[in-house]
Amino acid sequence: MITETARVVAVDGDKVTLEAAIKSTCSSCQAQANCGSGVISRAMAPKTQQLTVTALFPVSVGDSVKVGIPEAGILAASGWLYLVPLLIFIGCALLLTELLPKIGFNSELWVVAGSIAATMAGFIWISGYLKQFDKRRFQPVIFPLQKHVEASVHTAANKDDAESR
Domains and CATH numbers, the chain: 1-24+45-69 (2.40.50), 71-139 (no CATH)
Overall pTM surpassing 0.75 (yes/no): no
User: pLDDT by residue (tens digit) across 17-57?
Assistant: 888 877 666 666 766 667 776 666 666 656 778 888 888 88
Integer angstrom CA distances of residue 68 from 45, 71, 158: 22, 9, 30
Q: How far apart are CA 106 and CA 99, in angstroms?
A: 10
User: What CA–CA distance (Å, rounded) separates 40 from 61?
Assistant: 32
- At residue 94, the 3 state secondary structure works out as helix
Judge whether residue 155 has pLDDT over 50: no
Spatial distance between the Cα atoms of 106 and 34, rounded to a whole number of angstroms: 48
| pLDDT (tens digit per residue) in 78-131 | 888 889 999 999 999 999 999 999 998 888 999 999 999 999 999 999 888 887
DSSP letter at 73 equals H
- Rounded to an integer, what is the distance from CA 35 to the centroid of its chain? 26
Rounded to whole angstroms, the Cα distance separating 137 from 153 reads: 30
Q: How many CB atoms lie within 10 A of CB 142?
A: 21
Taking a C-beta distance cutoff of 8 angstroms, is the pair 18, 7 a contact?
A: yes
